């Protein structure tokens, strides 16, 4: 049994070009990410999709005193996975930030992700997606804290502010998160 999971963080319509809170160069992320998801599944990796799934009055929204525009409201087109990405029946989908309060950056924060990974015998996690300095960072830190062998896949992440990426990656490396690319992560899969 494969002990690896690919966690695809928040590749949602509102975080892609034209969305309410778009990261940079996300459209260029979609083809290689879709190809890699297919490849990872072929190698037996579990694929997890996280999605911001906020209530209309989420505390992070400017209208509620937060710093972000309204984004990824549960059940709206902006919260959908960005095409061509689509979760299959064998994939795990994690909705996060579902309460009114709390940022909900991490796929592990207030969700069943850790338990689901443990139940499936996962020991190793690759983290891809959007946005490097927020949800990718938080998910990777929490995966490491939960004692998963954690790698951020540098070729499959996008940031809101690209100038922050070197600092975020340096921080992650310093605390023990591995940095790599999708090909090397997949080659090391059991």
Residue tagged active-site, from 14, 72, 135, 178: 135
Q: Where are the beta strands (DSSP E) in 61-118?
A: 92-96
Q: How far is it, in rounded angstroms, from Cα 5 to Cα 46?
A: 4
Q: Which of the residues 52, 72, 96, 142 is marked catalytic?
A: 96
CA distance 90 to 140: 22
96 carries an active-site annotation: yes
Catalytic residue list contains 52 = no
User: Would residue 10 show up in a list of annotated catalytic residues for this protein?
Assistant: yes
Residues 6+ apart with CB under 8 A from 6: 36, 37, 40, 45, 46, 47, 48, 125, 126, 128
Catalytic residues: 10, 96, 135
């Amino acid at each position: 049994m494969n002990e690896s999971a690919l966690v695809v963080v928040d590749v949602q319509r509102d975080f892609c070009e034209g969305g309410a809170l778009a990261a940079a160069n996300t459209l260029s992320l979609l083809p290689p990410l879709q190809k890699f998801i297919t490849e990872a599944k072929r190698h037996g990796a579990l694929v997890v999709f996280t999605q911001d799934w906020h209530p209309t009055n989420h505390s992070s929204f400017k209208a509620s005193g937060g710093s972000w525009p309204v984004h990824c409201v549960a059940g709206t087109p902006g919260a959908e996975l960005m095409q061509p990405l689509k979760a299959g029946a064998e994939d795990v989908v994690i909705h996060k930030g579902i309460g009114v309060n709390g940022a909900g950056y991490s796929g592990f924060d207030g969700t069943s992700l850790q338990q689901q990974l443990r139940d499936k015998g996962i020991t190793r996690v690759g983290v891809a997606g959007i946005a490097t300095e927020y949800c990718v960072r938080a998910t990777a830190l929490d995966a490491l804290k939960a004692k998963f062998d954690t790698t951020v896949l540098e070729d499959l992440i996008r940031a809101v502010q690209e100038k922050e990426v070197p600092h975020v990656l340096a921080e992650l490396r310093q605390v023990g998160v591995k940095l790599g690319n999708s090909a090397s992560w997949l080659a090391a899969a059991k």
